[in-house]
Copies of this chain bind each other. A is one copy, B any other.
Amino acid sequence: MIKANDPSLHSWIEIDPESDFPIQNLPFGVFQTADRDPRVGVAIGEYILDLCELGSRGFFELIDFDPNVFHRPSLNDFLAYGKPVWRAVRNRVSDLLRNDNDEICGDSDLIRKCLVLQQAAQMLLPVKVRNYTDFYSSLEHATNVGTMFRDPKQALLPNWKHLPVGYHGRASSIVVSGTPIHRPKGQIKAPDMDVPVFGPTRQLDFELEVAFITGKETQLGQSIPPHEAEEYIFGLVLFNDWSARDIQSWEYVPLGPFLGKSFASSISPWVVTLDALAPLKVKGPVQDPKPLPYLQFLGHHNYDIQLEVLLQPENRPATSVCRSNYKYLYWNMHQQLAHQSSNGCNIQVGDLYASGTISGADKGSYGSMLELTWRGTQPLQLADGSERSFVEDFDTVIMRGYGQHHGIRIGFGEVRSRVLPAV
């Protein structure tokens, strides 16, 4: 076991047992405050540990890297050092926060300098996203969409069980939790219209996804076998793949989703490391037919991460509208990365690979309004008595996720976004 994952560890910081951020998690993010410029930190309970402060005081001097990479507005320069450094830093942070270590906790001035309340900080986009791919790896989601838009008897297209279908998305419009989303405008042509019109989408939707971030590059022409994928993956975030269904359905033939997606995607600010998630590994769904050799893997590479989506109308209570789980994914992230690089496409530091909408078998586990309301035909009832077919202006969409092992909760925090009217 990775030593920082030991369930018996305790910190000198008091941490609520319901917190997403116990000492066994230690996710990385980028933050700023009124008197701290953008820098890297680690979440611990209600606090952020300021790695930039610690680095400048020599706390990482036994690790072979330049701690100035923590004084940056993104994790990219830190990620470029690779897994041995990621792991050494996490282990060192774990040591510094343990209740039997007094390097920080014995110095009240130092505590003040290197601990920041999360409430007092603004979280920034954790990585400068270089390339973004969106997969389509949930069997249940692909089946639901195929049933609605094509043929219920042949809902899955012939390629779906042979390869992790995916497409390139827009990197520039990926934003961090808390960034308001303007309702996008676009061309819309409903089936009963003769010609398209241009205007605000009438079918704004979320998609519940999890994304992984790479921290190691390959050269053009090089491929990554599934058993090496873990060396490339730094960690995971929650991912809301905003979608405008009416724009998408008119534009997407024959080259795929474009403006129906590229107006925004939202991610959670804390990147939970693959190391912290290791205890949550579970077996994935049986894959039949057996994948081609370049997609075959040993061991378990699905993760038991409970996911939830809440919809909150303006000044009203939130309603939980979806409970799903990352473990439902048919294609795991090792296979996704192996497929992405199988043609020699080069991987970069800061790439983001999203899972596709994660739906389960039951209706309550569907990961989009499209599925939850079956294309708007079965509106959802919210706690305040209102109904929703799609997301409305001034609604806030909240996604949360966490896994548990030996009573220890490894959480993602949340990605939360409020929808504003079209500009």
Contacts and interface: CB of A to CB of B under 8 A. Distances in A.
Interface of A: 130-131, 136, 157-159, 162-163, 165-173, 175, 179, 182, 184-187, 189, 195-198, 220-223, 244, 247, 250-260, 262-264, 289, 292-294, 339-340, 342-348, 351, 423
A344 B172 contact: no
B187 A292 contact: yes
B258 A196 contact: no
A221 B173 CA distance: 10
A136 B255 contact: yes
Contacts of A263: 220, 343-345
A172 B259 contact: no
Given A187-B292, A292-B198, A166 B258 contact: yes
B343 A195 contact: no
B185 A253 contact: no
A348 B172 contact: yes
A170 B344 contact: no
A185 B225 CA distance: 14
A130 B257 CA distance: 19
Given A162-B196, A255-B167, A130 B172 contact: yes
Given A130-B172, A168-B258, A173-B220, A251 B159 contact: yes
A220 B244 CA distance: 16
A130 B172 CA distance: 8
Given A157-B254, A159-B253, A171-B171, 12 more contacts: A131-B171, A136-B255, A159-B250, A162-B187, A165-B255, A168-B262, A185-B223, A197-B292, A198-B292, A198-B294, A220-B264, A263-B343
A197 B167 CA distance: 21
A170 to B, nearest CB: 5
A267 to B, nearest CB: 14
